[in-house]
Every structure is written in C-alpha cells, then in structure tokens.
Amino acid sequence: MTDHPMPMPEKPVLGAALMLEGLQQHRDWILARQRDLEIQDFFRAEVLDGDWQPLAAQARRALDGHSGRLGLHGPFWGFKIDTHDAAVRAVVTRRLLQGLEVCEALRATQMVVHSPFTTWDHANLDAFPGARAQLQERVHQTLGPVVKRAEAIGCELVIENIEDKDPRDRIGLAASFGSEAVQVSLDTGHAHYAHCSTGAPPVDFHIHLAGDALRHVHLQDTDGHADRHWAPGDGSILWPSVFSAVAALTVKPRLILELRDHRHLPKAVAHLTGLGLAD
C-alpha cells in the first residue's frame, strides 16, 4: 500500500488597512488575490460631519474590481463607548451610526470599534460593587441603536483591544449582545504591549480565548514598549504562535496588516510569507 501524503493546509491570505493613498499604491497586490481590505479614511469627526460622499465615491472607484471582504475603521477619537455622561453617549452613538452610513455606502461588512476596557478597569472594576455590570450597561446604552443598524445592513461590529489586560472582558462584552453583528477584534501590537508592559497574556492566548468570536485581526509588530505599528519582523511578537492559534479557529478572521507607514507593506508581507505563515 502506498502512503498518500496529507494535503498541506491552505495558508491564510493577508489583507491590509489602508487610506486611499495606500489603496491606490497597493491596488494591484490587493486585487491579485482579492484580499480583505479595511478603509481608514472615515474615522475623523470632521470627515463624518462634512460631505464625505465625494471621498466615498473616490473609494468606490479605487475599489472597482475588488470582490474581497471590505471593512471600515469606525470613529474612535475623543470618546469611549462606556462614557458615563448621557449627553456624550448620544454623541458617541451618532458618530458610530455615521460610520455605519459610510459602511452602507461602500458596502462594507465590518466596522472596527474600540474597546472600553482600561488597565485601571482591570485593577478597579471589581473593587466597587456592581461596577462591571454598570460598565456593560453603559456600553449597551451607547451601542443599542448601532447594533440594530448594523444588523439591518449586514455589518459586523468588531470590538478591538486597546488597553485591555484580560481579553475575557472584551469577549464577554461582545457576547452579552447576543447578536451576530457584535464580534471580537484583536490588535496584535496592542496585545503585545499589554503583555510586556502590564502583564497581560501573550498574543496567542487572546486568539485561543476568543475562539470563533474572533472575526478581525490587526497585524502589527512592536517592541512591547509602545504602539509601534511596525511591520511584522521589526518587533518582538512571536508570529508562528499567532498564526498557529489562528489556524486552530473554525471561523477564519480577516487578517489585516495595519502599519504606520503603508510603504512598509511589501516588507511585512515578505516577512510573513518567508516564514511560511501566510500568502
């Protein structure tokens, strides 16, 4: 009897987070594999409050021929989704609904939202009776209309770790909505910073704990001291452990290279493909 070699598992295909300038520069690379793409031109308040339709039209032209999955980085500057102030909460809700308007215009099926959890929360939420439940309730008040709108237009909200120390906080918050429209995002650089600087688990633990709720990953490297957004290979993240954890998932998240300088995208891709981790 002749042994038949086991087929090699398919490597995940890398995507990228880009502004329109970067999209135009890397368009051929994106279209060649119909890569997942995240547009990052629409998170600023001045853009959302202005006439963003011409910018959206420009994005649609740049995306002509793209059939991969498309996402948007939602607004985040100047607010937290667990704000105590009801008046501020109304502004946050409006901002996120504006983000979903852009998603609908671009036919984007995912929008990144920032986590409310801080390192202070990790140490103090359980020191005050009811504080953890109250935080979750404030987030539900903020996101309630946003989740309904996301469900209506077929868009996932993915909650990205920022200062999070315990990934289970964010995973539990996403699950508390009981909606397919609220899932989990991971930023590898943020997680590695938290691991090195605050004692959080290493990056691969975040992936294993989230399981199939993990629908989106920002791939970026760092030295653990700050939020570098370096190309993979320039920092100290153990990339084989990250991709091994991703490979164990049943639902495959979007793997989005999010670099501070989009000109380093070819270097990032070359490093991960050179390790045999991705295409």
pLDDT of 155 strictly over 70: yes
Q: Are 167 and 201 in contact (CB under 8 A)?
A: yes
pLDDT of 90 strictly over 70: yes
Residue-averaged pLDDT of the chain: 96
Please tell me the distance from the alpha carbon of residue 189 to that of residue 231, in angstroms, as a whole number. Answer: 10
Give me the mean pLDDT over the 87-94 stretch: 98
- Residues with Cβ < 8 Å from 153, sequence gap 6 or more? 100, 103, 104
Give residue-wise pLDDT tens across range 226-248.
999 999 999 999 999 999 999 99
Pair of tokens at residue 212: 């199939």
Q: Quick one: DSSP state of residue 253?
A: P
pLDDT of 108 strictly over 80: yes
pLDDT of 52 strictly over 90: yes
Please tell me the distance from the alpha carbon of residue 233 to that of residue 28, in angstroms, as a whole number. Answer: 24
Give me the mean pLDDT over the 146-153 stretch: 98
Please tell me the distance from the alpha carbon of residue 121 to that of residue 126, in angstroms, as a whole number. Answer: 8
Residue percentage of the chain with pLDDT more than 70:
97
| Residue 263 amino acid letter | R
Closest CA to 98 of 51, 64, 37: 51
Give the chain's largest Cα–Cα span: 73
Closest CA to 254 of 207, 217, 199: 217
Could you tell me the pLDDT band of residue 151, with boundaries at 50, 70 and 90? very high
Could you tell me the pLDDT band of residue 1, with boundaries at 50, 70 and 90? very low
Could you tell me the pLDDT band of residue 250, with boundaries at 50, 70 and 90? very high
- Per-residue model confidence (pLDDT) at position 258: 98
pLDDT of 79 strictly over 50: yes
- Per-residue model confidence (pLDDT) at position 116: 98
Pair of tokens at residue 16: 């990228």
pTM, two decimals, is: 0.96
Q: Distances from the Cα of 161 to the Cαs of 40, 59, 278, in angstroms? A: 17, 27, 23
Q: Reduced to 3 DSSP states, what percent helix, strand and coil does the chain have, rounded to the nearest 5?
A: 50, 15, 40
Q: Quick one: DSSP state of residue 126?
A: G
- Per-residue model confidence (pLDDT) at position 126: 93
Could you tell me the pLDDT band of residue 10, with boundaries at 50, 70 and 90? confident
pLDDT of 6 strictly over 60: no
- Residues with Cβ < 8 Å from 182, sequence gap 6 or more? 143, 147, 150, 156, 157, 159, 174
Q: Quick one: DSSP state of residue 221?
A: B
